[in-house]
Structure 1
Amino acid sequence: MSIVGYVNISLELWGCVLSLIVAICLLVGGRPRSVQTRLFLQLLVCNAVILLCDAAAWLFKGRSGAVSWWGVRIANFLVFALGYVLLAIFTHYLTAYLGQRTPVSAAPLRFVRALCAIALLLVVLSQFNHMFYVIDAQNVYHRQQWFWLSQVGGIFGMCVNAGILIRYRRAVEPQEEEALWSYIALPALSMCIQIFVYGVALLNLATTLSILVIFLFLQAEQTRRMKARELELAEMRISIMLSQIQPHFLYNALTSIKGLCVTNPQRAEQAVDSFSVFLRGNMNSLTAHQPIPFSQELTHCKNYLELERLRFGGRVNVFYHLPVTDFSIPTLTLQPIVENAVRHGVTKRREGGTIWIRTGETDTGWKVTVADDGVGFDPQRPDGRSHAGIENVRTRLESQCGGSLSVKSNPGQGTTVELNIPKKGEGYAHDNIGRGRRAHRP
């Protein structure tokens, strides 16, 4: 084997090792398994296999024996075939990455997939008519006159990717755009060179370098965005906590407790307990980065309702139907919804009203429903009040457990809010606490 052959094998094995190291870092780094992260892992693994196969093709080249005979043929076939698979994966990765920022047409991805499927069929056909390459009796690989066609398909696919990036370039930052361009420009340039030059594995090395550039820049950018998002959520928790212990709420609660100290000392003592536990629950929410047991959130909600019932008395009626409570929910999601039902629903009516809190289980998750027969509102028309509390709850549900929130309301009839928590991830299911509870009134 020539010195060039040994150099190619060494470089490709190092590229294979680097690709696998990056893949392992992604797997053990606790990163969210988003679509683009999974696709990037597929890119790394596919590239590692291509590099390993090309190194094997160089190693077995010109050697005798059954192992070398099959090794050269299988390795070269996989290098050609997996190159198109890698192109299709990158196109999917590119559209998924851009799709986070702006709607992206699926037509280019479908076109590239069809192009790669045709190219794969030609690679299979080449094993019989040797249109791309042939392996002679000495077990040596030789290009054939139609080899250029095997490169044209890849170049054309990269041109499609270039068109996608140009079309949606405004959706990404300049640094991100440069990293994505590296994967398009370097492999395309190496394919053009390989049509005329044979001896150095330029394409595989260019692809590996481009993938590493994407990892260093794009994945690092995603990490930065995740940290910014976590900071935003932390600030949101502080804002919610402060909004729930506003001075007027503290004043009303303490005034009610003061009156009970004279008329009903025992009830006043219970109210002080509820008040202290409620404040402690708000403080604890600042450090709760993961969903908590629903029973814990329910207790916090009941403490809040106990304080409000001191003020409004029989104008606020609450009924519970909790057949299932053995699941988790992001902190401060139920209580803000119930607070909205009290402040903007039932207490807006002179005679007051009723709030129903229900839980249920489906095949895919759990749902929590908070309904009231208060004044309601028209979701299609602005009502002059902020709905930041509902939006904050929706954001926490989506970010912490992939859940969702829906609101239905009609003026004069009341409002129903449904929280949906999917059965996925870790830490959402708990022991069977409170199963079979029947509807009761506090």
Structure 2
Amino acid sequence: MTTDSNIQILVALNMTLILQLLGVFLAVLADPYIKRGHRISLYTILGLVTFLLIEPQISEAYGEVLYRSAPGLWNTLISAAGYIMRTIVLYHFIKLTGNEKGLKLLKILIVANAALCLSSLFVPWVFFYDSAGHWHRGPLNYIIFVVSFFMVLWFVAGTLIRYRGIRHRESIVPIIISVNVAIAVAMDLSLGFGPKISFLTVAMTESTVFFYIWLHLQFVREHENSLKAEQRIKIMMSQIQPHFLFNTLSTIQALTEIDPERASKVIEEFAMYLRQNINSLNQESLIPVKKEIEHTKIYSDIEEVRFPSIRIDYEIEDDDFLVPPLTIQPMVENAIRHGVRGKKHGWVSVSTYREDDFHVISIRDNGKGFDVDKMIEDSMNGDHIGVKNVRDRIIDMTGGTFVIDSVIDEGTSVTIKIPALKENL
């Protein structure tokens, strides 16, 4: 009965570990975020850990049949391969952390360790098998454990250095993996028996699963950061339109002949406008609404010079909260470009005020108006990217709302509501 129970436990453990490795393999195969080099490293780890899991059990069950021609040679070769493979797994763990420093040195260390292990085929310095097939430790056996211990320390140190000062919590998983491996090695050495599945093999299997999950989170965040950077570029490009640049320069050129002093002021404002748009590329956090209004006023001053028939008014009652950069200015630009420009008495009004638990920003105009439903439909196809970006950032960064109301031939109203949370005060 005890033998049957042991067999059942062994089968259950094998199924658990193999299914975990298979699950990681399928996840890596389907993961769209993993780069080619990382994918190869993960496949290498999975292949080696699978070998280390299955080979000892096959050798114990069928070794007498498989290796009967030269049992000492085969046992020595397989044991040496096991020691070498463990260092290769650790090397790929280190490589996957993204710390490229010292990888050449580690390769040299792995080659030297492999040569030392393979020397057991000729001399009993590291380990040897007696005539009965029993394994014995050699006088230099401790060196291969020192090499593995050194690589584990390298793994931990490299992770801490890479995430020093930015994301301390992200170094926890590699440290847990290292501690897990170290404990497993200590248990294998101290318990003094040879189980069919060693503690180290179990630790390396579980570490592979944990490490993939950790890596996936890194890859997803990198992808999200890339998308955010791309979005910031699109925002800036949507605000710095070529026709605006050319028309402003033409206006400045005309002013230099009739009003040089005014031309000088417009040049200064134009430079500030461009600088603030470019700075927005590196601005990931919210900014004071005062700064956004200042930027909007610089833009509107330039437009009022270009189009004397329009008027932009500001009624600022609430200016003590935060907004995403480039939120008010793009809406004023839309109101001018697509609404009031060309009208004999066009106006745009920008106001901020407090309403219950919200900071409210209102941008209104008496322009041509448009079909809001069609605008929303067009934005899904890539048009009106400026409006869509403002709306998305208001929702994602502040938890606020963004509403557009428009009546053809009467005008448009944009209402932004931002919750008056503590972090926005």
- TM-score w.r.t. the length of structure 2 is 0.49
- TM-score w.r.t. the length of structure 1 is 0.48
